[in-house]
């Protein structure tokens, strides 16, 4: 019997309430209940068991933030995944959600109702299956000289429970912090005083222990010369800020963090039918160095950055 998820949508605007409820009900595994404001929602939560609460912010009788705070008083109600959505993504709303430790914050204008439904289903599935819950935390360095832009990304990225955020005010400050700390990803602007994003990228590539750290450069206007220069430098991740919302950029960052090149260790035994076939195809007709080994150590790297996906195969002890 398939799992049925019960979701409560709380929103005082009838049209908005209808749009999200109709979209969610397209999924046969989701049962939708509705509340017209925060107080109505709170009363229904006390009387029913919900798998997720999807709530607006500004509502009569009780705001979404007030509702969230009321639920935290009860240990059982505090465990229910709470998704709050903002009409305009105001910075004070984002900061308030962060202060309250709200894990799921959606800016309505940046995503379609269908994308919201997909996100809600992902949260439901991850909350239901403990095997999908990942405790891995990623440390990100945001490098940007404009304090307003830097704050926007610090706030947006910082809302995600798996991200730990550090920041730098320009390329030189960023490079100093990269030398002193270990980061899982560097997110940097391009035009900055003291050291540009391109210069930062090049200098990090010269650091043996840091060169494999993913670096995401973001351009303000997507100038063709920036795109071409990034390509010539071998930059894998360039994001044009004007055509991507902070939500879109966060999702791309998470994709990069979660989809790393995977390395597999294989061993071919001498009595395997593929032993000599591999030697001949990989090393040529006279693979003298390895032909008498009982086991050939092989390393296979799955490269997710090259589409279609490519595999790099090399002898694990080739450079010994």
CATH code for position 42: 3.40.50.2300
Q: What is the pLDDT of residue 299?
A: 61
CB contact at 8 A, 142 and 153: yes
Q: What is the pLDDT of residue 292?
A: 58
Pairing mode of beta strands 310-315, 262-269: unpaired
Boundary-marking domain end, from 258, 282, 307:
258
**Cβ-proximal residues to 154 (8 Å cutoff; 6+ apart), any chain:** 142, 165, 167
Same domain, 234 and 273: no
Same domain, 21 and 50: yes
* Residue 165 resides in a domain: yes
Same domain, 162 and 238: yes
* Residue 115 resides in a domain: yes
Residue 286's domain spans which residues?
A: 262-315
Q: What is the pLDDT of residue 308?
A: 45
Same domain, 159 and 193: yes
Other CB atoms within 10 Å distance of the CB of residue 247: 18
* Residue 186 resides in a domain: yes
- What three-state secondary structure class fits 5? strand
Distance CA 246, CA 250 (A): 6
Pairing mode of beta strands 138-143, 82-86: unpaired
* Residue 20 resides in a domain: yes
Same domain, 179 and 119: no
Distance of CA 265 to the CA centre of its chain: 27
* Residue 71 resides in a domain: yes
Per-residue pLDDT of the chain (320 residues; tens, 9 = 90+): 456 899 999 999 999 999 999 999 988 889 999 999 999 999 999 999 999 999 999 999 999 999 999 999 888 899 899 999 887 667 778 888 888 888 888 887 667 888 888 888 888 887 654 333 334 678 999 999 999 999 988 988 887 877 889 999 999 999 999 999 989 999 999 989 999 999 999 999 999 888 889 999 988 766 788 888 888 888 888 888 767 778 788 888 887 886 544 555 556 666 666 666 666 665 555 544 555 566 656 666 555 444 444 555 555 543 33
* Residue 320 resides in a domain: no
Boundary-marking domain end, from 107, 132, 157:
132
Same domain, 159 and 101: no
Same domain, 236 and 284: no
Same domain, 166 and 204: yes
Same domain, 154 and 121: no
What's the alpha-carbon Rg for the chain, to the nearest Å? 25
CB contact at 8 A, 49 and 19: no
Question: Taking CA 24 as the corner, what is the angle to CA 53 and CA 46, rounded to the nearest 5 degrees?
Answer: 25
* Residue 213 resides in a domain: yes
Other CB atoms within 10 Å distance of the CB of residue 133: 9
The DSSP call for residue 146 is -
Q: Which sign does the torsion angle of CA 305, 307, 308, 313 carry? A: negative
Q: What is the pLDDT of residue 132?
A: 34
**Cβ-proximal residues to 236 (8 Å cutoff; 6+ apart), any chain:** 214, 215, 305
Q: What is the pLDDT of residue 131?
A: 34
How many domains would you assign to the chain?
A: 3
């Amino acid at each position: 019997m398939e799992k049925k998820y019960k979701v409560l949508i709380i929103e005082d605007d009838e049209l908005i309430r209808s749009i999200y409820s109709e979209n969610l009900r397209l999924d046969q595994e989701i049962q939708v209940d509705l509340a017209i404001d925060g107080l109505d929602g709170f009363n229904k939560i006390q009387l029913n068991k919900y798998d997720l609460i999807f709530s607006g912010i500004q509502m009569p009788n009780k705001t979404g933030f007030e509702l969230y705070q009321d639920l935290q008083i009860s240990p059982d109600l505090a465990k229910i995944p709470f998704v709050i959505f903002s009409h305009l993504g105001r910075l004070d709303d984002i900061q308030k959600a962060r202060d309250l430790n709200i894990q799921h914050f959606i800016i309505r204008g940046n995503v379609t109702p269908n994308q919201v439904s997909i996100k809600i289903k992902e949260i439901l599935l991850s909350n239901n299956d403990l095997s999908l819950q990942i405790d891995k935390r990623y440390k990100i360095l945001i490098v940007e000289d404009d304090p307003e832009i830097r704050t926007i990304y610090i706030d947006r990225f910082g809302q995600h429970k798996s991200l730990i955020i550090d920041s730098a005010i320009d390329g030189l400050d960023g490079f100093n912090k990269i030398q002193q700390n270990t980061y899982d990803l560097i997110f940097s602007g391009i035009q900055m005083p003291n050291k540009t994003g391109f210069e930062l990228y090049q200098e990090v590539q010269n650091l043996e222990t840091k060169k494999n750290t993913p670096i995401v450069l973001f351009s303000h206007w997507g100038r063709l010369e920036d795109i071409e220069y990034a390509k010539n430098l071998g930059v894998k991740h360039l994001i044009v800020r004007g055509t991507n919302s902070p939500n879109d950029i966060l999702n791309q960052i998470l994709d990069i963090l979660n989809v790393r090149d995977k390395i597999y260790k294989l061993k071919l035994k001498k009595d395997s039918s593929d032993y000599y076939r591999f030697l001949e195809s990989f090393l040529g007709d006279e693979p003298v160095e390895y032909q008498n080994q009982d086991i050939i150590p092989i390393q296979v790297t799955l490269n997710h950055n090259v589409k279609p996906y490519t595999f790099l195969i090399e002898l694990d002890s080739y450079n010994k």
